[in-house]
């Protein structure tokens, strides 16, 4: 548990939770061990659902009383009807999708709004890593070697903002986090967020 946060959920998850209105219907795509869904249910009376591929994750979720389906996000997300959820959350997972654009499209189809958090590949430390070491960055938050990473579609904050724009969706709120976990509003300063942000968090609407 994170000592910086008395409620005990990860800082980036807390930022996502803060974007969600109480009593709404939420789908957490790639919900892991269900930390966020559990928090949303207990603190915000959210009617939550999850999709998770790992057995351990699903086991942990169901054992705590959450409604979570074991499955592949990219196929299972197609099951749900249009506008089924108030929010569809994709936290730290977009970069691991085979077809990120299609996943985003589906999220906006089944949800009125979407919340996406992602690692920013243009973060200044990563830029320096490549510049000085000439190798794919490996860090505490990105602990994989290039050949065994699940993260097959890295992007930058600027890339993501452009994609959202191209797809015709709106960004209602955007934050970036530095490595201490301090969050700041992006506003119009994409360049700054793209340089200083280790992660970006976006609330999207249609």
Partner 1 sequence: MSVDEAISQSVEKAYDPDNWTLPGERVCLAQNEPLRLDNGEELKNVHIAYQAWGTLNADKSNAILVCHALTGDQYMVDDHPITGKPGWWKQVVGPGKVIDTDRYFVVCSNILGGCLGSTGPQDINPQTGKEWGVDFPVITIGDMVRAQKLLIDHLGIKKLFAVVGGSMGGMQVLEWACRYPDNVFAAVPIATAARHSAQNIAFNEVGRQAIMSDPDWCSGDYHAHGKHPHRGLAVARMAAHITYLSETALTRKFGRNLQDRDDLSYGFDADFQVESYLRHQGSTFVDRFDANSYLYITRAMDYFDVASAAGGVLSNAFKDTPVRFLVMSFTSDWLYPTHDSREIVHALNAGMANVSFIEVESDKGHDAFLLDEPEFHKVFEGFLEGCAEHRGLQRKAS
Binding site for partner 1 (CB under 8 A): 47, 49, 55, 58-59, 61-71, 76, 79-81, 84
Q: Which is nearer to partner 1, 108 or 142 (CB)?
A: 108
Q: Which is nearer to partner 1, 49 or 113 (CB)?
A: 49
Q: Which is nearer to partner 1, 13 or 58 (CB)?
A: 58
Tell the smallest beta-carbon distance from residue 67 to partner 1 (Å).
Answer: 5
Torsions phi, psi for 20 (to 5 deg): -100, 130
Torsions phi, psi for 133 (to 5 deg): -95, -20
Give the CA angle between residues 19, 161, 38 to the nearest 5°: 30
Tell the smallest beta-carbon distance from residue 43 to partner 1 (Å).
Answer: 15
Q: Which is nearer to partner 1, 60 or 104 (CB)?
A: 60
CB 190 within 8 A of CB 164: no
Tell the smallest beta-carbon distance from residue 55 to partner 1 (Å).
Answer: 7
- CB atoms inside a 10 Å sphere around CB 39: 21
Tell the smallest beta-carbon distance from residue 111 to partner 1 (Å).
Answer: 13
CB 198 within 8 A of CB 177: yes
Tell the smallest beta-carbon distance from residue 78 to partner 1 (Å).
Answer: 9
H or E element at residue 123? none
* Residue among 156, 171, 163, 148 nearest 103 (CA): 163
Tell the smallest beta-carbon distance from residue 26 to partner 1 (Å).
Answer: 13
Q: Which is nearer to partner 1, 64 or 173 (CB)?
A: 64
CB 9 within 8 A of CB 181: no
Q: Which is nearer to partner 1, 27 or 155 (CB)?
A: 27
DSSP 81: P
CB 118 within 8 A of CB 94: yes
């Amino acid at each position: 548990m994170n000592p910086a946060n008395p409620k005990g959920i990860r800082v980036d998850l807390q930022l996502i939770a803060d974007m969600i209105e109480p009593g709404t219907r939420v789908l957490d795509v790639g919900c892991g061990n269900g930390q966020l869904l559990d928090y949303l249910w207990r603190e915000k009376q959210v009617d939550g659902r999850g999709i998770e591929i790992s057995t351990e994750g699903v086991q942990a979720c169901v054992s705590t009383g959450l409604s979570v389906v074991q499955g592949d996000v990219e196929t299972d997300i197609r099951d749900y009807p249009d506008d089924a959820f108030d929010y569809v959350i994709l936290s730290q997972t977009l970069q691991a999708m085979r077809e990120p654009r299609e996943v985003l499209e589906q999220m906006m189809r089944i949800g009125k709004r979407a919340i996406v958090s992602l690692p920013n590949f243009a973060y200044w430390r990563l830029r320096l890593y490549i510049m000085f070491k000439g190798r794919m960055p490996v860090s505490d938050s990105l602990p994989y070697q290039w050949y065994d990473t699940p993260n097959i579609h890295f992007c930058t904050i600027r890339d993501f903002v452009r994609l959202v724009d191209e797809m015709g969706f709106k960004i209602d709120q955007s934050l970036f986090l530095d490595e201490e976990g301090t969050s700041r509003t992006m506003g119009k300063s994409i360049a700054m967020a793209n340089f200083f942000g280790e992660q970006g968090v976006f609330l999207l609407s249609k």
